[in-house]
Chains A and B, each alone.
Chain A
Amino acid sequence: MEIKSIEHPTLKVPYEVLNKKFRTTQKTLDKEISLLQTAATELEKGLDNSPSVGNITKLLDGVIERLNVLKRKAEESIENELKYANVCKKRLEHIKQNVTNTASLHKSPNMRMEEDDEHSNESQIAIAAANQWKKIRLNRLIVEHFLRLGYYDTAEILANRSGIRDITNIDIFQVSREVEKDLAQHNTTKCILWCIDNKSKLRKINSDIEFKLRQQEFIELIRKGERLNAVKHAQKFFPAFEQDQLHEIKKAMALLAFPIDTELEPYRSMFDIKRWEELLVNFRLENYRLFQIPTQSVLSVAVQTGISALKTPQCYSANSRNINCPVCQPQISEIAEKLPFSHCAQSRLICRVTKKPLNENNHPMVLPNGFVVGELAISLITDQDGNVVCPFTNEKWSNPKIEKVYVM
């Protein structure tokens, strides 16, 4: 179940690439075969009109050459398809490892006695393997998270260092990395190429990114004072988007009438250089939509649910903070503020002194100042002279009244 909930992008991204490779292969095959058909038709015509040996062998050569090209291209593209099918396979195998580990854990009966040192070797190894897998998972999720935030260099270092490159989407996001770099330098070229490359898919998801790019190019031409070129640009590219973007087109055309330092909205913000940043974020989001992966990284989702699972009102109460509790850490508690608390309908009480659970074997006792400790802790907080010292407030009582507490 854990796997079902968090590994969707791990598989879906290479699948989308596989699917795309399939389409390109099909396109290549169709194109090459139609070229071949043309060559063959030429040959057939030659046979009908001037079937000289010289002419025919020349035409035959043409056909054979096309066949050779086809053969090479077909092999290349199908290999490519297989490559990504194998990427999927590899990831499935990695995910499977965890299931096998946990399965062997549940089989081993010693698992229940975690306190016991006498773990069977097998279960110890299984625990270690499961922990290792979790460690890799954390690194994998962090790499994906970095990719989304555009921290490509760090993602690269982490993936290489922990040897998990091929089970992350780092290589697949290489293209988007290039595009982003280009956009960050206020260039549209690579992003336009990306749009062309993914045209049919982008149309399917109703993306307006290409229009936004063309619009930005138009704005940049005006900024450079090339208003005439801007008009030419508009004539060339805008008509294709007339249907959906008429309003935006009108706004853009109106820009021609304004100086670039205009104070008038919406034109002022259209000239704003910040639009490039928006464009970059926009591209990133469209790219996720293309791969059909959620806009939030799995890491950020799991961090949210994890914080909630651990968050208690005690994390925000000065006298019950626990240094070991992740949610009590200042940075995390700030993130946690808006998240729900964990649910707990049954008391889970631990003695603050011995860290042992409070129950019938370690009855909760209340000190005169209201602090509760376990029965087993009483002797530990009693000094040689028989005085009881509160471990939290350092109050000292000789022969205090320590009463039982009943928790239902």
Chain B
Amino acid sequence: MEAIEKVSTEVEKVITKFTAINEHSSKLIQNEINALEAIKTALQEQSSESEMLTPQQINLVKSTIARSKEKLHRLAVDHRDLHGTVSKVGKAIDRNFIMEYHQVVRQDLFKNEANIKLLDENIAQHFYRQGMNDVADSLVREANLKQEQINEDPFAELHKIFEDIHHRNLTTALAWTEKYSKELEAKNSTLEFKLHRLAFMQILKGGINSQNEAIAYARSNLSKFVVKFQKDFQVLMGCLLYLKVGLETSPYNYLLSDEMWIECADTFLKDSCNLLGINKESALSTILNAGCIALPALLNLKQVMMSRQVSAIWNELPIEIDVERYHSIFACPILRQQSTDENPPMRLKCGHVISKDALNKLSSASIMNNNHYRSSLKCPYCPSEMVANDAKQIYF
């Protein structure tokens, strides 16, 4: 905020001063024009073309002209003096905002054609996803991308269905769930039931006249949920009892509320994204938001690192960045390192977990110390002793 304020102050100064000089200069020049015009008219009125000016008149013209010259000269000087004000804005920007990134990022990464393409493709994908096809198409054209390289983003379709549900239209959603019925079932999704329930309730809204239609709908579409959603199913059938008196006054009136639709739309987006393996947020925007958090932290560190002359490119970032994590991360409590495929977490017999590297170090250290042939070791966290082979690799 402070940074913005500082630049703002300087910009305000520029605006004030230039507005002032603008008014001042127009007025000043106009005055000079007026003065000279007046002299000219006076001359024309007093004398004929060929007559000579009197010495007083000459003096008057001379002094007026001298004054104009002086004033305008000063105007130019005044304007030049404003340069300080202008350049202060630039200085304030440079002082309060950071423009050097080369210490914290690789310079060469996006000089590489292949990487530029990959990023372009990702941006195009991002726009397709948001339904901004005109932007994406134009990018594909200008960046010479191959359309095939960009996965047809299924999210755009999902997003449309999501909006349809919000607009009380279930047709597209039901068609979608029918297509993926098996997969949804395998994932224990409640989506299909929720959609049919909404459809059923929509029919019931028609009152007693739609009773037969509702029963028919339930028979053909809801019966398969009887086992899984027994309770809910009973509730739905219970609704039929209240058709005559009106559902609005029944204990089941909550089924008619708006929240049911909103919740269902949300379930749709969640389950469908999950099913198709896509993210609710585009990868690009997640990355960018994370990057905007990481960048200041790294820049902050840059100063420290420069003073200690640490090399700029790391294998691992020097600090932890607080962003949402998508993986279970096991950090070895001994080596303070994240586990990898080569260095996986190992569960000791006593239940404590350390990394494989740490385990190897411990067991070789104990061989050295005890001259044992068997590599026995002691858990670093509890008194148990064991042989290294007892430790088992685990998967978080």
Chain A residue contacts of B294, Cβ below 8 A: 305-306, 308-309
Cβ-defined contact, A11 with B93, below 8 A: yes
Cβ-defined contact, A339 with B318, below 8 A: no
Closest chain A CB from B37 CB (angstroms): 6
Question: Given the complex of chains A and B, what is the CA–CA distance between A323 and B97 in angstroms?
Answer: 36
Cβ-defined contact, A33 with B75, below 8 A: yes
Question: Given the complex of chains A and B, what is the CA–CA distance between A92 and B11 in angstroms?
Answer: 9
In chain A, residues 68-95, which have Cβ atoms closer than 8 Å to a Cβ of chain B?
68, 70-71, 74-75, 78-79, 81-82, 85-86, 88-89, 92, 95
Cβ-defined contact, B101 with A89, below 8 A: no
Question: Given the complex of chains A and B, what is the CA–CA distance between A332 and B321 in angstroms?
Answer: 19
Cβ-defined contact, B138 with A335, below 8 A: no
A60 on the B face (CB < 8 A): yes
**Who on chain B is nearest to A74 by CB?**
B25
Question: Given the complex of chains A and B, what is the CA–CA distance between A120 and B122 in angstroms?
Answer: 36
**Who on chain A is nearest to B97 by CB?**
A8
Cβ-defined contact, A372 with B395, below 8 A: yes
Indicate with 1 or 0, residue by residue over B42-57, a CB within 8 angstroms of chain A CB atoms. Answer: 0110111111110001
Chain B residue contacts of A29, Cβ below 8 A: 75-76, 79
Cβ-defined contact, B4 with A95, below 8 A: yes
Cβ-defined contact, A332 with B122, below 8 A: yes
Indicate with 1 or 0, residue by residue over A6-31, a CB within 8 angstroms of chain B CB atoms. Answer: 11110110011011001001100110
Cβ-defined contact, B29 with A347, below 8 A: no
B392 on the A face (CB < 8 A): yes
B175 on the A face (CB < 8 A): no
A250 on the B face (CB < 8 A): no
Give the interface segment out of B84-92, B161-169, B215-223.
Answer: B84-92
Chain A residue contacts of B46, Cβ below 8 A: 53
Closest chain B CB from A238 CB (angstroms): 32
Known contacts A54-B49, A305-B104, A307-B287; A2 and B328 CB within 8 A of each other = no
Question: Given the complex of chains A and B, what is the CA–CA distance between A9 and B230 in angstroms?
Answer: 61
Known contacts A82-B19, A332-B122, A349-B396; A26 and B317 CB within 8 A of each other = no
Known contacts A312-B327, A313-B339, A370-B392; A153 and B138 CB within 8 A of each other = yes
Cβ-defined contact, A347 with B99, below 8 A: no
B388 on the A face (CB < 8 A): no
B8, B49, B122, B314: the one within 8 Å of A52 (CB):
B49
Closest chain B CB from A250 CB (angstroms): 31
Of listed B278, B323, B339, residue having the most chain A CB within 10 A: B339
Indicate with 1 or 0, residue by residue over B122-156, a CB within 8 angstroms of chain A CB atoms. Answer: 11010100001011001101110000000000000
Cβ-defined contact, A366 with B292, below 8 A: no
Of listed A7, A36, A142, A310, residue having the most chain B CB within 10 A: A310
Closest chain B CB from A61 CB (angstroms): 7
B298 on the A face (CB < 8 A): yes
Give the interface segment out of A170-178, A189-197, A288-296.
Answer: A288-296
B80 on the A face (CB < 8 A): yes
Cβ-defined contact, A349 with B292, below 8 A: no
Give the interface segment out of A154-162, A222-230, A239-247, A270-278.
Answer: A154-162
Closest chain B CB from A85 CB (angstroms): 5
B190 on the A face (CB < 8 A): no
Chain B residue contacts of A322, Cβ below 8 A: 326-327
**Who on chain A is nearest to B104 by CB?**
A305
Chain A residue contacts of B102, Cβ below 8 A: 294, 296
Cβ-defined contact, B40 with A60, below 8 A: yes
How many Cβ-Cβ contacts under 8 Å join chain A to chain B? 422
Chain A residue contacts of B313, Cβ below 8 A: 340
B383 on the A face (CB < 8 A): no
Closest chain B CB from A160 CB (angstroms): 10
Chain B residue contacts of A343, Cβ below 8 A: 316-321
Chain B residue contacts of A96, Cβ below 8 A: 1, 4, 8
Chain A residue contacts of B86, Cβ below 8 A: 18-19, 22
Chain B residue contacts of A36, Cβ below 8 A: 68-69, 72
Known contacts A309-B294, A314-B328, A405-B353; A323 and B278 CB within 8 A of each other = yes
Cβ-defined contact, A340 with B339, below 8 A: no
B115 on the A face (CB < 8 A): yes
B387 on the A face (CB < 8 A): no
Chain A residue contacts of B341, Cβ below 8 A: 313, 316-317
A19, A51, A340: the one within 8 Å of B52 (CB):
A51
Cβ-defined contact, A370 with B25, below 8 A: no
B49, B72, B139, B298: the one within 8 Å of A53 (CB):
B49
Cβ-defined contact, B3 with A33, below 8 A: no
A44 on the B face (CB < 8 A): yes
Chain A residue contacts of B122, Cβ below 8 A: 329, 331-332
Chain B residue contacts of A135, Cβ below 8 A: 285
Cβ-defined contact, A301 with B4, below 8 A: no
B7, B293, B315, B350: the one within 8 Å of A11 (CB):
B7
B210 on the A face (CB < 8 A): no
Give the interface segment out of B105-113, B194-202, B234-242, B369-377.
Answer: B105-113
Indicate with 1 or 0, residue by residue over A29-66, a CB within 8 angstroms of chain B CB atoms. Answer: 11001001100100110010001111011001101100
Closest chain A CB from B387 CB (angstroms): 18
Question: Given the complex of chains A and B, what is the CA–CA distance between A22 and B243 in angstroms?
Answer: 78
Closest chain B CB from A18 CB (angstroms): 6
Cβ-defined contact, A300 with B326, below 8 A: no
Closest chain B CB from A66 CB (angstroms): 10
A138 on the B face (CB < 8 A): yes
B338 on the A face (CB < 8 A): yes
Closest chain B CB from A166 CB (angstroms): 15
Closest chain A CB from B26 CB (angstroms): 6
**Who on chain A is nearest to B30 by CB?**
A71
Chain A residue contacts of B87, Cβ below 8 A: 19
Closest chain A CB from B55 CB (angstroms): 9
A280 on the B face (CB < 8 A): no
A254 on the B face (CB < 8 A): no
Question: Given the complex of chains A and B, what is the CA–CA distance between A26 and B75 in angstroms?
Answer: 10
Cβ-defined contact, B331 with A78, below 8 A: no
Closest chain B CB from A58 CB (angstroms): 10
Closest chain B CB from A171 CB (angstroms): 18
Give A residues with C-beta under 8 Å from B. 1-9, 11-12, 15-16, 18-19, 22, 25-26, 29-30, 33, 36-37, 40, 43-44, 47, 51-54, 56-57, 60-61, 63-64, 67-68, 70-71, 74-75, 78-79, 81-82, 85-86, 88-89, 92, 95-96, 99, 103, 134-135, 137-138, 141-142, 145-146, 149-154, 157-158, 161, 292-294, 296-297, 299-310, 312-317, 319-320, 322-329, 331-332, 334-335, 338-350, 352, 358, 364, 366, 370-372, 392, 403-408
With A153-B142, A309-B293, A310-B325 already in contact, 15 other A-B pairs whose C-beta atoms are closer than 8 Å: A12-B93, A19-B90, A40-B65, A56-B43, A64-B36, A138-B288, A154-B141, A154-B143, A300-B110, A301-B101, A323-B277, A326-B283, A358-B328, A366-B394, A370-B394
5 contacts between A and B (CB under 8 A): A61-B40, A82-B19, A138-B284, A366-B347, A371-B394
